[in-house]
Amino acid sequence: MSMMLWGKFLSVEWRTGTGIDIEWCQSRPVWTQNGITGDMEALPFEGMIILLPCIIISYGLPYTFDDEGYE
């Protein structure tokens, strides 16, 4: 499940783990799918990820690089 909240993506997913962890990341790879073309690609993710028993909650944005930095 994924939704936009205050300009960023909030996503909740199932996981096969039982630990509890919080991480703030700037370059974690995530799979994204273009809603228009259906193409899938891996992009870096900048945001917060909360790992709970059986659940992953992520909040942030994937981004791409251009010649001047990232957009």
- Looking at residue 52, its pLDDT comes to 92
Per-residue pLDDT tens over the stretch 10-52 = 989 898 888 898 999 888 888 888 778 888 888 888 899 999 9
3-state secondary structure of 36: coil
CB 56 within 8 Å of CB 50: yes
Listed by start position, the domains of the chain span 2-70
Q: Is 38 left (phi over 0), alpha (psi -120 to 50) or beta?
A: left
- Looking at residue 68, its pLDDT comes to 61
- Is the pLDDT at 66 greater than 70? The verdict is no
- Looking at residue 27, its pLDDT comes to 81
Q: Taking the complete model, does pTM exceed 0.85, yes or no?
A: no
- Looking at residue 67, its pLDDT comes to 57
